[in-house]
Each structure stands twice: as C-alpha cells, then as structure tokens.
Structure 1
Amino acid sequence: MFAKGQTVIQLMEKLAPRHYAVPDDRIGLQLGTLNKEIRKVMVTLDVVEEVVDEAISEQVDLIIAHHAIIFRPLKHLQTDTPAGRVYAKLIKHDIAVYIAHTNLDVADGGINDMMADALKLENTKPLDTVFTEKLKKLVVFVPQDHHERVLMAMLDNGAGAIGDYSHCSFNLSGVGTFKPGEGTNPYIGATGKFEEVLEIRIETIVPESLQGKVIQAMLKAHPYEEPAYDLYPLDLSGRKLGLGRVGRLPQSISLAELAEQVKKAFDVPAVRIVGEPGTMLNKAAVLGGSGSRYIGSALFAGADVLITGDVDYHSAQDALAAGLCIIDPGHNSEKIMKAGVAAYLTKALADGRYDTEVTTSQINTEVFRFL
C-alpha cells in the first residue's frame, strides 16, 4: 500500500512542524497536489532543472526540498524562462513540491542538529531562540483501580516532561461524587443513585503541541463515560527551540584541525576560515545557511568559533575583532539534510507499513566551483 501525499506530509511535519517556521517563510506545498498516491519521494536541498530532470527519470511523485522554488510572488509563468521551464516540467509530470525550510532548521533532529551531530558537539542548545513551547496543567480524576493505567497513558504520550526529567506528576487521593442520569451506563454505581467514590487526582504538565494526543490517550484509558478533567494555561515556559546550535567540542582542537573535520563532515572541497589556524577551540556554534547575522549570538553564547555559510567581508571583520573564529563551508553544506530527512521518512513510512520509497537527489546543486 502506498501512502497518500497528505500522509507523507503529516509524517514530515511531525519532524518539522509548520508552526516552528519564522514569520513569512515560504514553506509547505508550493506546487502540485497531495491528493494522490505517492510511490516515490525524492529529498533534495534545491529544486533546480537538473534535479527535476532526475525526478522525472526516477518517476518521482513528490519532491521534499529545503529551499523554496517560489520565493517571490510570480508576475508571469512564461515557460521559456529558466524558472518557467522548471515549473512546466513539474506540472507536466505531476510532481508535487513541498518545502521545509526554517521549520526544519528549528526542529529537534532537523538540519542544525544534523550538523551539530556530524561534528559531535556535546550538550547543545539553540543558538538563537525563535520558539518557546507553551505549557498547560492537565488535571484528571480517576478511580483507584484505573489510576496507573490512566497515568501511564498520559505520561507515555508526552505529558510530564520538566527539563531533563520525564514522567513527572502529582497524585492525591480524595472522594468524588456523581449521580448518573437516565440513559447512562456508569462504570461505578447505578442510574439515579448518588455515589461517593474513592478517586485519585492526577496533575501533570502538558506541552501545548501534545495536548490533543495526551487527552485522547487519557480518554481512551479512562473507564468513565464522562471523565472529569481540567486544562489550565500556565505562565511557565517549556522547551526553547531555535536556529543554530551551540555546544562543547569533544576535545580542544585547533581551528585548522576543525576546518578539516568540517570539510569531511559536510562533504565540501574547501572552507573559508577567519582567525589564526593555530587558535585552540573548545566551544562551537553551528548554523545552516547564512549566519552573518548570528555572530553576536555566537559571542553571547561563549562560542570560540561559528560554523556557518555565506559570511560577508565586514561581518567577518567584526567577528575577528571580537575574537570569534569562523569556518564557512558555504550554504550548500545544508545538503546534509538529504540523508537525514530520507532516513527519517523511510523509517516513518515503514512503521506505517507503507510501500512508498524515499530516495535522495544525487545532483550537486553547489553553484560555486573551487579552483
């Protein structure tokens, strides 16, 4: 059985939820339809004409890319222009294009985590926070004989996470009262009779993004026809997610040595560096794409080096003056997302028992050449 397009995207958005994207980012379905079976998905960094030709040759139904193919509003759709040819080929061969950009940058397990993991950074945190998870307090009243079942149903579905601790809850015994009305089928007691039951009040924390999932699990595990529960908004902040990552290097290393590791980890032929090659480094920040704007964030986080692409001349001067080294492997280093996203989707589809195949583009979309 092949997955529908909407199913593939639902799985993709579990990895990179849409609401993680920065305002006005061009994400989501940009061309084609998801209302069809998807036999093959291709993951790519860029959607250029060579990649589209590859997708046609491979009989791909859906392209998932990081960089948008429609970044600015279209004034025309002339098919004799470079962009027009790309759109025409995609439409003619019924290939849909879905974009995951800053939402994939921000996400746990997204591009920046892939880059940090490739360099074995330890104890990583977001370099620049753009999203803070809202928390809620869930309170539910459960008869004693179903306490553990309902509690674990909630906790195993994501409730009760506080910092690095999971399965956190508070449980208090008390007496619940109710009177079943006509037409009811009470788990405890009889219709029309006032009842007093020993119950346990369960309190736990729920991230807003998991609210529906946790409540659904609680209701499924609860024995009552009409479970009593409350949901309160909290002023407390949950997980902080953001662009880039900063963490400790496994061991002290020179700028020159780390530059060689970056070339290998990100499969690039050359890098630009800012700083003396012999400078010893202990803490690194990494950010996929263009990172000139995040030099201040890297300094504030205590990083010795910022690994990012497309650093301009004057920003590099400012970093050098402030004592921050830079390794610039280019914007195309984000191609690390191809293997990472493909591996995630392959497993997610297999877990759903779908036969949809996931592949990665083999086209090198780097626009610069090194002589």
Structure 2
Amino acid sequence: MAVLAELIELLETRYPPHLAESWDSVGLVCGDPADAVTAVLTCVDVTDAVVDAAVGGGFELVVAHHPLLLRGVDTVGAHTPKGRLVHRLIRSGCALYTAHTNADIARPGVSDALGDALGLVDMLPLQPTTTPAMDKWAVFVPQTDTDRVAEAMFAAGAGEIGDYSECRWSVTGTGRFRPGEGAHPTIGTVGQVESVVEDRVEMVADRGRREAVLAALRDAHPYEEPAFDLLETVPVATDTGLGRIGRLPDPMSLRDFTDHVARSLTVAPWGVRAAGDPESTVTTVAVCGGAGDSLIDTAAASGADVFVTADLRHHPVDEHLREHELAVIDAGHWATEFPWCAQVSSVLAAHDPSLVVHEYGDTTDRFTMHAGPQA
C-alpha cells in the first residue's frame, strides 16, 4: 500500500518543484504525508464537482494541475469558497497536491502530453530553460593550504552542482613571483624570485554568492595577494522548458489540422478557433498547454507552421499576423492541459499497480455554452 509521502517523492522527482516559477504555488496543500493512499484522482482544476467526485469515490489523494490557493490568502475558513473545499477534503481524509508550472516545464510534462495527443514526434522544448548564472573560480594556492581554502569557499556557497556539493577540480603546477618593496610575503623574500608548488583549484558558484565566496577566499588564503581567475559562464539550454516543438508524421493543410486538433482533444463546447491561411501546409507544430500568447514570438522564430495553445487574445494575435505567417490555434485552456492528467495517472499507476487511479474527465472549462450565428 502506498504512503502519501512516497507518492509526493515520486511526483517531485517527475515534476521537480524547483522548476516552478517564483510566483507559483506547488506541492502539498493539505493531507498527512504518513497516510496510506489507495486511490488517486487527477484533474486540471479543483472545483466543487471534483471534490464531490473525490469524496464520493473514496479517493485519498487529488493531484491537480492548477493551484487551488495560488494568490496570497489569509484564511481558508469554511465560510470562503476555496476554504470550504479544503475543509471538505480534510474531513474526508483526502489530500490535495498541485503540480503547476513545474509540470509545464518538466520533460515530459504538460506540453509533451498535448503534443502526444496531437501525434507529434521528435519534440523538443520550444523555450528551453537555461542553466543558472554561475561564476567559475580558479584559485592558485600552495598545496599545503588547498583543502583549507577550498573548504572556506564551500562554506560560502561554492562548489554546488545540482544535488552535489563540495565539487572541485585541481591540477598541480609551479607558481613564480618576485615580492616587491612594501610586500610582506608569506613565502619568499622581497626582491627575490620565488617558486612554489601550487594547486590550481577550480569550482563553480552561483553568481549571487560572488562577494561571499571572494571574502572567504581572501580570508582563508595564506598569500597577501591571492591569485585567482573569475569567469562568468554562459547559460546553456537544458532539456526542460516551456512549450514543445515537433513535427507531424504526415503533413496536412491548416484546415485539416484544425479539425485534427478538435478531434484529438476533449474540447469545450465552443470548440477550436484558428487564424491563418486554411490551405497552408502544416508539418512543424509548436504547442503550449494552457495560456501561451506570451510564446507567440518564440513560436514564430522557431520555424513552426502553426502554434497550438489557449487563451489567445485579439491584439497579440493581430499584431503577430501582421508580421508572421505562423498560424495560431486556440483549443482552450482546459482542453490543452487535460492530456496531462493521463500522463500523471500513468506515472502513479506504473509506480504502484495496486493504486486505483482515475482522471476527472468532465470539463472544468468555465465556458460551457456556445451559440452560433442564426441561419
């Protein structure tokens, strides 16, 4: 039988919380990590209907994409709409866990699930995340003091790479210098050339730790004037990021591809809308589950023929189409993110086949009616 803490660890391995945007709210909302879990319900939004299904179906965990408590709150009292849902979940012994922008950025993640639903192959991040801004330190230090200097720099935050700490590389060589008038050398004599066996010690550090690392280096180094190199590393694209770009195995017209999108996704009653030349050929497709108009320029620069996303606004699309040939398709927020529910369900089921895992398949898109023009 699975324990909630075990499933949280699984989810956070697949959708690391550190990938989430700074403004986001992800992770465990309510629930006891020590509780057993036999049934999980996955969903896009936590609504009254979802909580009804969770409580009525005996689920002990709801895994949602959209945070229930995204904006700052100062109460979850049962007299508030969202507080009422939290209380119902707690009283029924059902935990709530959210994976939002971390699931957008992780790979595979939300946009991979959307691309898979559309039959795309060879997908890559549309807007890759990059490695953090780092400094590369190379310090020249007498061999007898190498460990002391390195440990001081480690204590100041240097030498961390991912889940590893105290990372360093060194090579031994010969340092030469002549102390001048006014110098107080630790090793050597004023006016005479001195040769010292030294280590060149290299390590990286977050750029924000620069002052602290420099102070630690100077404090621990035996020399009056420590010699060191400091380089700013170039950010490197990773295999994670927002959106995806892939290709269709069989090209089709934009008109046919729009129909393909509508058939492939569980769309809201108002359907799918597209902008572009209906007869243009679609081979390369950019996608972004959820609101994606901030990525229109990125999609246009990617060489894609069409961008499938949601929540497209009139003015950004109008400005885009005045400059670019990239077609755009708005398939709805919920519809473009719902395929992720099957993805996360498969992750949970594969981990523990005894788990009962269901996707909440009724649309939680708030636009539930559509009226067409009169004939």
- TM-score normalised by length of structure 1: 0.69
Partner residue, 2:179: none
Quote the Cα distance in structure 1 between the aligned partners of 2:70 and 2:300.
31
AA aligned to 2:326 is: L
Over the aligned positions, Cα root-mean-square deviation in angstroms equals 2.5
Quote the Cα distance in structure 1 between the aligned partners of 2:132 and 2:72.
32
CA gap of 1:14–1:311, structure 2 versus 1, over 3 A, is same
Choose the corresponding residue for 2:339, options 331, 336, 339: 336
Deviation by residue 1:232-280 (Cα, 9 ceiling, x = unmatched): 6596847331000012222331111111111122121510111132222
**1:344 CA displacement:** 1.5
Partner residue, 1:267: 266
**1:330 CA displacement:** 0.5
**1:210 CA displacement:** 6.8
Quote the Cα distance in structure 1 between the aligned partners of 2:162 and 2:308.
31
Quote the Cα distance in structure 2 between the aligned partners of 1:88 and 1:117.
36
Moved over 6 A (4+): none
CA gap of 1:296–1:238, structure 2 versus 1, over 3 A, is closer
Specify every segment of 5 or more residues in structure 2 that has no aligned partner in the other structure, as ranges: 135-159, 166-200, 206-232
Partner residue, 1:280: 281
Partner residue, 1:303: 304
Deviation by residue 1:320-355 (Cα, 9 ceiling, x = unmatched): 2122211100001111111111011100123xxxx3
AA aligned to 2:24 is: D
Tell me the SS of whatever aligns to 2:128. Answer: strand
Superposed, 1:1-371 pairs within 5 Å as 2-132=1-131, 208-209=161-162, 237=236, 239-268=238-267, 269=269, 270-321=271-322, 322-333=324-335, 334-350=337-353, 355-369=354-368, 370-371=370-371
Quote the Cα distance in structure 2 between the aligned partners of 1:344 and 1:15.
8
**1:64 CA displacement:** 0.6
Quote the Cα distance in structure 1 between the aligned partners of 2:355 and 2:328.
41
Residues paired across the two proteins, number:
278
Quote the Cα distance in structure 2 between the aligned partners of 1:21 and 1:61.
25
Deviation by residue 1:273-325 (Cα, 9 ceiling, x = unmatched): 11132222222110001011111100111112110000001011022212221
Tell me the SS of whatever aligns to 1:79. Answer: coil
CA gap of 1:231–1:98, structure 2 versus 1, over 3 A, is farther
Quote the Cα distance in structure 2 between the aligned partners of 1:260 and 1:338.
23
Tell me the SS of whatever aligns to 1:244. Answer: strand
Quote the Cα distance in structure 1 between the aligned partners of 2:87 and 2:64.
18
AA aligned to 2:108 is: G
Partner residue, 1:197: none
- Quick check: 2:106–2:240 contact (8 Å CA) kept in 1? yes
Deviation by residue 1:130-165 (Cα, 9 ceiling, x = unmatched): 243899xxxxxxxxxxxxxxxxxxxxxxxxxxxxxx
Query: After the TM superposition, which of the residue ranges 361-370 and 55-64 deviates more from structure 2?
Result: 361-370
- Quick check: 1:4–1:38 contact (8 Å CA) kept in 2? yes
Deviation by residue 1:79-129 (Cα, 9 ceiling, x = unmatched): 244323212211221211111011111111211111112222233221112
Tell me the SS of whatever aligns to 2:338. Answer: helix
**1:363 CA displacement:** 3.2
- TM-score normalised by length of structure 2: 0.68
CA gap of 1:53–1:254, structure 2 versus 1, over 3 A, is same
- Quick check: 1:134–1:208 contact (8 Å CA) kept in 2? no
Specify every segment of 5 or more residues in structure 1 that has no aligned partner in the other structure, as ranges: 136-206, 213-229
CA gap of 1:9–1:133, structure 2 versus 1, over 3 A, is farther
Choose 1 or 2 for highest CA Rg.
2
